[in-house]
Amino acid sequence: MAKNLLIVESPAKSKTLKRFLGKSFDILATVGHVRDLPKSKLGVDTDDGFSVHYETIKGKSKILKKLKDSAKKSEMVYLAPDPDREGEAIAWHVAQLLNSPEKILRVTFNEITKTAVLGALKNTRDIDENLVNAQQARRVLDRLVGYKVSPFLWKTIARGLSAGRVQSVALRIICEREAEIDAFVEEEYWNIEALLADKDGAQILSKLARIDEAKPEIKTGQEAEKISEDLKKSRFVVESIKKSERIRKPLPPFITSTLQQEAARKFYFTPKKTMMIAQQLYEGVELGGEGATGLITYMRTDSTRIAESALTAVRTYIKEVFGTSYLPDKANRYKSKRSSQDAHEAIRPTYPDRAPDEIKGFLTKDQFKLYSLIWNRFVACQMSSAVYDTTSVDIDAGRYLLHAYTQSLKFDGFLKIYEESGENGQNGENGLTDFIPDLKVGDELSLVEVRPSQHFTKPAPRFTQASLVKTLEADGIGRPSTYASIVSTLLDRKYAETRERRLFPTELGKTVNKILVEHFPSIFSVEFTAHMETDLDQIEMGKADWVDVIREFYNPFDERLESLLSRQAEIKASLTESTQEVCENCGSPMVIKWGRNGRFLACSAFPECKTTKPLDDSEGPVETDETCDKCGSPMVIRNGRFGKFLACSAYPKCKNTRAVPTGVKCPKDGCGGDVVEKRSKKGKLFYGCTNYPKCDFVAWYKPADKACPQCGSSYMLEKVSQKRGPYLTCPSCKHKIYQESE
């Protein structure tokens, strides 16, 4: 009897699916896309209705032959790539290549469980042409922009650069934030607190809330001092007391963007890493004798919808484990965004009763972290709200009104298992939690101390990878399947870099952005890109024709590009800057030009004179006390593509270089080497020992030559907290020393 053939994207799913389908099915994987636009040419005929030429992806011929041979012998062929646009396109391409429409069916499942998979096989459908067209439209749009604009960048900046329809908008967002920070002028302001006491001596901390019925705006220390002196002479009388309950509802289950954000805040995972681990949990993890088991639902989604069966299961679990007080009368329902595609559920555990600790031994450390996060968030989203008792007190002080507020947790509800992190990993709840004694309206309080404090306004922070994803989602840029690739592409292209987990645009990124925004202002705008995402959604829903959408975009785009072709030399010249430096070989003026790796100094007499040098060396090398270990000449600090380095002053006769020492000796016993700055292959700064590879000491943070006072570790690490500034932390016991406590 002939078997059936099930075709999936990833080989990792096969083990999990084999458990449910048994010997009656052969399961093969495409290992991603099998066909794509050609790499060497445009592949889109703009004069023939945007007809598309696809080619078999290099290395996929053997896979396709295996699929064809197996399909010929199979009774039915079930196409089961992922349940999204990309998966639908893969199914369509495979169906075209197999060319057996009479026995090909499309199946999708949001989770790899026996119930979901067998249910999908009973509810097969045809390939959704609208989904295929939406994916094809996105691919064609990206190809037109990339293949048309990238050569423009080659001729105006440097060869090898590339533009992306969506990535370039993300770069623009990063660059505009950087420009905002550069232009920011900090302003001084002061807050004033007053420590008061009741008749029994119980203290209450209050804040200045009003001056003459207006919100206080204290700009200088002199103003703060005057108000402080006034308060010292004031009479403090309790004006009002308000006691109430505050209800805090649980957050909805994760969607792709919120999972990426929370994993970044809690574990410092990049979006790319989060999606890689989530893919493993979705496709299946070996659970001992149970075999490969899918642990979460599909991880690319923007819907908070939850299947009724999952709601029933999790409510049963909550009742049995936590009790009826933690279970609301009705299931909590969450609204998805208007633009969300509701075909998928939220990200949730496939088996709500499978607590993380029960399977911890089968998971990697990172898998356990992410599964715990997803499981806790999902169970919490169906638990009762947390309840706080709050007390708010207004205190009259003549012209001034002081305010005190406190809250205490009355019922923990969903907080029993989950609380969202703040931007830097702190809990989401902040605010005054100081004790307020039992007071009555009309009670007079005595002043213990006035506490003026100076502050300065701060610019909007640079984006983390997670906060950039949040902004992209809010602006309608990209979709769940693209967030991670948008960020990683910017880093891979060296248009942005990460420092202390923040995204900085590189000089190259700033220049690429400048050219694109100046000459393609509408195409690389947030509004236009968000509009295109809406058009793609309309195609997916069958409400727009994909060719019409492409044509509407392409015609004005092509006209703009044509108008710029004659100005390429002019635009390139506009990026060249004059300098006061002269060429050491021919005496001609040196100019600043752009290359693939950023700006550099070049002789203006090019091509007759081809002298170049790093731009950062234009002000001359910095002398040091170090000597060259090869020729004995003094060593100088120079700047290169990857930052500062020590170079022999006898260059070019002696080309010896080495890393700049940090002044800290290697902490490994008996090593004796120096700790120096180094760069990874991707340009990320780290610290290592000069005796590598004999010594394997490395650290992502700069070591400090200070012993830990708690455990005696020979060194500590320098870190920075946005809330409390620079501090030292012990790599062994995690003891922290903040500047103010030193």
570: Cβ–Cβ under 8 A, 6 or more apart, which residues?
none
Six token digits for residue 194: 């007053």
Q: Per-residue pLDDT for 128 more than 70? A: yes
Q: What is the pLDDT of residues 606-645, one digit of tens each?
A: 889 988 887 765 555 677 778 888 888 888 887 665 567 8
CATH no. of 4-127: 3.40.50.140
Provide the token pair at 552: 């509407």
Instruction: Let me know: does 118 contact 20? Beta carbons within 8 Å.
Output: yes
- Let me know if 692 is a catalytic residue: no
- Rounded to whole angstroms, the Cα distance separating 556 from 10 reads 40
Is the CATH number 1.10.287.370 carried by domain 188-249+387-456? no
Rounded distance, CA 441 to CA 541, Å?
62
- pLDDT above 60 (res 486): yes
List phi, psi (to 5°) of 391: -130, 125
Residue holding tokens 């923990």? 412
Q: Tell me: domain 261-384, CATH 1.10.486.10, correct?
A: no
Find the range with the poorest average confidence among 181-195, 394-408, 448-462, 723-737: 723-737
Give the pLDDT band of residue 733 (cuts 50, 70, 90): confident
Cα–Cα distances (Å) from 74 to 127, 706, 716, in that order, read: 19, 70, 64
pLDDT grade for 404, boundaries at 50, 70 and 90: very high
For 233-262, how does the pLDDT look when each residue is reduced to its tens digit (9 = 90+)? 999 999 999 999 999 999 999 999 999 999
DSSP-assigned beta bridge partners for residue 243: 391
Pairing of strands 4-8, 657-658: unpaired
Instruction: Please provide residue 594's backbone torsions phi and psi, each rounded to the nearest 5 degrees.
Output: -110, 140
Domain locations in the chain as residue ranges: 4-127, 137-184+461-569, 188-249+387-456, 261-384, 576-617, 701-742
- Give the pLDDT score at 29: 93
Give 9-28 pLDDT, tens digit per residue.
988 888 889 888 988 999 99
Closest by Cα among 510, 515, 508, 553 to 533: 553
Quote the pLDDT of residue 102.
Answer: 92
Banded pLDDT at 422 (limits 50, 70, 90): low
Q: Can you give the pLDDT at residue 527?
A: 93
Name the catalytic one among 54, 268, 282, 298: 298
Is the previous residue joined to 521 through a cis bond, with omega within 30 degrees of 0? no
CA distances from 160 to 9, 496, 516 (A): 31, 16, 16
476 within 8 A of 337, measured Cβ to Cβ: no
Q: For residue 740, count other CB atoms closer than 10 A to its CB.
A: 8
Identify the pLDDT of residue 741.
36
Indicate whether 742 pLDDT > 50. no
What is the distance between the alpha carbons of residues 669 and 577, in angstroms, rounded to a whole number? 51
Beta strands at 25-29 and 4-8: parallel, antiparallel or unpaired? parallel
Average pLDDT value over all residues in the chain = 89
Q: Which residues pair with 293 in a beta bridge?
A: 285
- Residue-wise pLDDT for 101-126, tens only, equals 899 999 999 999 999 999 999 999 99
Which of helix, strand or coil describes residue 40? coil
> H or E element: which one contains 365?
helix 365-381
Asked whether the beta carbons of 280 and 110 are under 8 A apart, the reply is no
Tell me: the pLDDT tens digits for 533-587? 999 999 999 999 999 999 999 999 999 998 888 888 888 888 888 888 888 888 8
Residue 575: the pLDDT is 83
Q: Above pLDDT 90, what percent of the chain? A: 62
- CA 58 – CA 37 distance, rounded (Å): 11
On whether the 137-184+461-569 domain is CATH 3.40.50.720, my answer is no
> Please, are residues 96 and 52 in contact by the beta-carbon 8 Å criterion?
no
pLDDT band at 596, cuts 50/70/90?
low
Given a contact cutoff of 8 angstroms between Cβ atoms, the answer to whether 187 and 457 are in contact is yes
What's the rounded Cα separation, in Å, for the pair 468 and 54? 33
Q: Please count the residues of the chain.
A: 742
Q: How confident is the model at residue 221 (pLDDT cuts 50, 70, 90)?
A: very high
The encoded tokens of residue 294 equal 């899918």
Mean pLDDT of 69-91: 94
The letter for the amino acid at 317 is: Y
pLDDT at 432 over 60: no
DSSP element (H, E) containing 154: helix 129-156
Residue 427 CA to residue 440 CA, distance in Å, equals: 33
> Is the pLDDT at 429 greater than 50, yes or no?
no
3-state SS assignment for residue 302: coil
Element (DSSP H or E) covering residue 518? helix 507-519
Strand 612-614 with 622-627, pairing: unpaired
